[in-house]
Amino acid sequence: MAKLVFGMNQSLDGYVDHMAFAPSPTLFRHFIEEAQRQAGSVYGRQMYEVMRYWDDDHPEWEAAEHAFAAAWRNQPKWVVSSASRRARARAWAAVFGIESRETIPQGALVRSL
pTM above 0.85, yes or no: no
Mean pLDDT in residue range 35-51? 84
Going from N- to C-terminal start, the domains of the chain cover 40-112
Q: Where are the beta strands (DSSP E) in the chain?
A: 41-44, 77-81, 109-112
Give the C-alpha separation, 54 to 28, whole Å: 14
Q: With a cut of 90, say whether residue 51 has pLDDT above it.
A: no
Angle between helix 63-74 and helix 25-37 axes, rounded to 10 deg: 20
Q: Name the more confident of 88 and 36.
A: 36
Q: Name the more confident of 108 and 55.
A: 55
Helix, strand or coil for residue 110? Answer: strand
Give the max Cα distance, the chain.
45
The kind and range of the H/E element at 67 are helix 63-74
